[in-house]
Structure 1
């Protein structure tokens, strides 16, 4: 736990912190001891800490509220406006006003709980952009370019930790289970793509979901993978690769980890890979359409390691390997024989 970092936390920062959420939710002795020691140092932002703790305690103790759909919609619109980061002053004013009466305070709690549990977080990486995502449970996700990760804002409070992936990402999942022999449903971590569902505890693996195919490579640990279109399940061990299409599993084999995770260091490893496949990877990462002057050129096989840190480096490599000229017109690239 980053003791010094908490001194600069706002109420929102505390609400997003996995260690703080665990402390309020489970009240474990080791967490209580840590936070008591931190509070004994009289931090300047103790008020933010107390506000965040109070909000979470209210959420945990407040009984379910039944309201109409119209009321939910209006209330959600109001609470979304009130918590907008660019309207903090207005939010605080509204909160103080609501807390002026017991009934209004109850409505605020109900609205906040409703928003918190129903809202989602969507993280998108643009073309030519990698992005590291820190999930509230302590897991890390490295998004490759042109990828999207979606998860519920209340992921730590739900019966299942689940995220949805479109594109490619490398996962480092945090263990939250205490008893290895009795795994609770909420302790599992689920990754959902169009064609597959990956179920893990704590491990590292790569998932790639593009062009209606999902590729999964396990780096460490053990994962269970199931096909979306069937009830079949597969257990992967480190170094195992499995591929799914819209009709189920396509193949499963041992996989060189370096080839699946090379993108993390800005390169791709090709082994008898066609030019067409390499160009499709380029299009996925940088958003271009590539047109070959000679279609037969696309069937040429290439071995080796190619840098993808920039579009220039990849095009330079292809230019020399294929002996072609490169012409750009907007978002279209032409590869022409010399």
Structure 2
């Protein structure tokens, strides 16, 4: 695990946003820290307290399991204080450097949208994120002087990144083994169950195709990179970038798009379950634009453009062939 990954995981754990997989990754690091003490020397002011807090919890848990009867209720505060000191001492041993203070801790912020909701979020550095429906981002409330501005994304979002005078890197992470780095640019990222897609509108983006970041890809404006599963198995092609961010303006633009792809958008963004009368119907292609402000009009527009009938029953959509008159 590299230093930036460790710092990211520690900050997510302290903010209560770490997933089961991320906690397991931290657990593996804890078990092997003796062979890699240099990591803690270069952690940020926020990651160090997170590491100390984790160590504190581990010391407390271990002592309570060892001799719970020794902890008397009236001495709980003193006991906790002693454990905190023990954790601090252990942290100094691990880090090989002084005492770390807690005056400027940043909290983990989580922003979410419901199905069909589009919302703008301003980040601590002035960058702007527009979240599509059923999407989530997590980030630190104050990046301070950190050289890395990092944000975690689930779902789909359009980023308008502010360039800093000291050229600080901005990173979007969608999975343990994939992230992308920028300085100042505009792009769309979608991380859904069907796969991950990056479309660059302006500037330059570096895609880190694995956790070690030794396999990278530089994107140019007007390019799309997408993959399912392994990031190294990506597809790269030129596209009209505005088509993939039109949802910001409350519309969807289709360009020879299959009804199967459209159905996936309806599932991911609006929580619809799609049933097709025959598989052949999903191969039909659509070209055009439909508004998203009104769900009924959206569904009707898709049906008209593809020559089918779409019947809605709550959150279920049934697609049948339109009978010729």
Question: TM-score, normalization: structure 2?
Answer: 0.64
Corresponding residue of 1:208: 190
Once the two structures are superposed, residues 205-226 of structure 1 have per-residue CA deviations (whole angstroms, 9 ceiling, x without a partner) of 1111112522111111112112
Taking structure 1 as reference, are residues 164 and 72 closer, same or farther at Cα in structure 2, changes over 3 Å only?
A: farther
Once the two structures are superposed, residues 237-263 of structure 1 have per-residue CA deviations (whole angstroms, 9 ceiling, x without a partner) of 211221133222421122112222221
Give the Å deviation of 1:110.
5.7
Give the Å deviation of 1:161.
0.7
Unaligned runs of 5+ in 2: 1-44, 61-99
Question: Could you say what secondary structure the match of 1:176 adopts?
Answer: coil
Taking structure 1 as reference, are residues 244 and 293 closer, same or farther at Cα in structure 2, changes over 3 Å only?
A: closer
Taking structure 1 as reference, are residues 218 and 323 closer, same or farther at Cα in structure 2, changes over 3 Å only?
A: closer
Corresponding residue of 1:257: 241
Give 1:261-276 correspondences, 5 Å limit. Answer: 261-276=245-260
Contact 1:134 1:140 (C-alpha < 8 Å) held by counterparts: yes
Corresponding residue of 2:173: 192
Corresponding residue of 2:280: 296
Taking structure 1 as reference, are residues 322 and 270 closer, same or farther at Cα in structure 2, changes over 3 Å only?
A: closer
Taking structure 1 as reference, are residues 224 and 324 closer, same or farther at Cα in structure 2, changes over 3 Å only?
A: closer
- 2:144 matches 1:156: yes
Corresponding residue of 1:22: none
- Whole-Å separation in 2 of the counterparts to 1:129 and 1:213: 21
Contact 1:227 1:249 (C-alpha < 8 Å) held by counterparts: no
Taking structure 1 as reference, are residues 155 and 72 closer, same or farther at Cα in structure 2, changes over 3 Å only?
A: farther
Question: Could you say what secondary structure the match of 1:193 adopts?
Answer: strand
Contact 1:139 1:174 (C-alpha < 8 Å) held by counterparts: yes
- 2:245 matches 1:243: no
Question: TM-score, normalization: structure 1?
Answer: 0.62
Taking structure 1 as reference, are residues 321 and 155 closer, same or farther at Cα in structure 2, changes over 3 Å only?
A: same
- Whole-Å separation in 1 of the counterparts to 2:194 and 2:277: 27
Once the two structures are superposed, residues 289-333 of structure 1 have per-residue CA deviations (whole angstroms, 9 ceiling, x without a partner) of 011122211111222223333321221113323444443333212
Corresponding residue of 1:165: 153
Taking structure 1 as reference, are residues 231 and 71 closer, same or farther at Cα in structure 2, changes over 3 Å only?
A: closer
Contact 1:227 1:244 (C-alpha < 8 Å) held by counterparts: no
- Whole-Å separation in 2 of the counterparts to 1:272 and 1:309: 22
Taking structure 1 as reference, are residues 234 and 326 closer, same or farther at Cα in structure 2, changes over 3 Å only?
A: closer
Give the Å deviation of 1:72.
11
Unaligned runs of 5+ in 1: 1-59, 74-108
Contact 1:225 1:234 (C-alpha < 8 Å) held by counterparts: yes
CA RMSD of aligned residues (A): 2.9
Corresponding residue of 1:331: 315
Taking structure 1 as reference, are residues 336 and 155 closer, same or farther at Cα in structure 2, changes over 3 Å only?
A: same
- Whole-Å separation in 1 of the counterparts to 2:253 and 2:59: 51
- Whole-Å separation in 1 of the counterparts to 2:194 and 2:276: 24
- Whole-Å separation in 2 of the counterparts to 1:158 and 1:223: 20
Question: Could you say what secondary structure the match of 1:155 adopts?
Answer: coil
